[in-house]
Structure 1
């Protein structure tokens, strides 16, 4: 299956379960992978035969800068649902939300959650 990826999208949001997270906010990085058949657009070079990357980015931005959501799982889930509802050619979407500033009392580079949604 062919796929389109948008990687390393950065947003400032107020997601988290701790009160400080919803007041101060922090950066979130989001990756989206979409499976779809790109054979037609490979021949036609027509945007209407593909998925508009800008429109996908705007969906992710709206959710990442909106909310807030307590859990990364919820943020990834609503992004997946929005993409599937708005882009019928997408057969599967995988969204990873990275939260490098997670309030964990230890040394780590990143916390991330990945959710997958497939068309039935």
Structure 2
């Protein structure tokens, strides 16, 4: 299995369980990995034989900057669902890590995140 990784994509969204999060918004980061077969793309240097990661970025942006959700789990799930749907036949599995760098929690920590894996990933 081969993989395409989109790392540290950053977006601004309005997701969260607290009303203030839905009004003020906050930064979100996403890492998305795609399980794909890259042999033909590597042999032919043909973009049509791989997944265009600019299109994957746009899927992620549309979800994170789109409709507010209470849970980042729901945001990650929607990203994975849309990626598998849009790139059916190419992407065998997807892993989404959605990071909330500044959640409204007292204390010292780098961030909170969820990680989900859908489809065949190994």
TM-score, normalisation: structure 1: 0.97
CA RMSD of aligned residues (A): 0.7
Q: How far 1:97 moved relative to its partner? A: 0.5
What SS does the aligned partner of 1:70 have? coil
Unpaired runs of at least 5, structure 1:
none
C-alpha separation between the residues in 1 aligned to 2:45 and 2:67?
Answer: 36
Say yes or no: does 1:67 pair with 2:67: yes
C-alpha separation between the residues in 1 aligned to 2:79 and 2:3?
Answer: 17
Unpaired runs of at least 5, structure 2:
none
C-alpha separation between the residues in 1 aligned to 2:114 and 2:87?
Answer: 23
Tell me which stretches of 4 or more aligned residues in structure 1 moved more than 4 Å.
Answer: none
Q: How far 1:104 moved relative to its partner? A: 1.1
1:52 equivalent in structure 2? 52
What SS does the aligned partner of 1:113 have? strand
The superposition leaves residues 26-71 of structure 1 with CA deviations (integer Å, 9 ceiling, x where unpaired) of 0000000000100000111111100011110000000010010110
How many residue pairs get aligned? The number is: 119
The superposition leaves residues 74-113 of structure 1 with CA deviations (integer Å, 9 ceiling, x where unpaired) of 0000000000001121111000000011111211110000
What SS does the aligned partner of 1:15 have? coil
TM-score, normalisation: structure 2: 0.95
C-alpha separation between the residues in 2 aligned to 1:105 and 1:17?
Answer: 16
2:99 equivalent in structure 1? 98
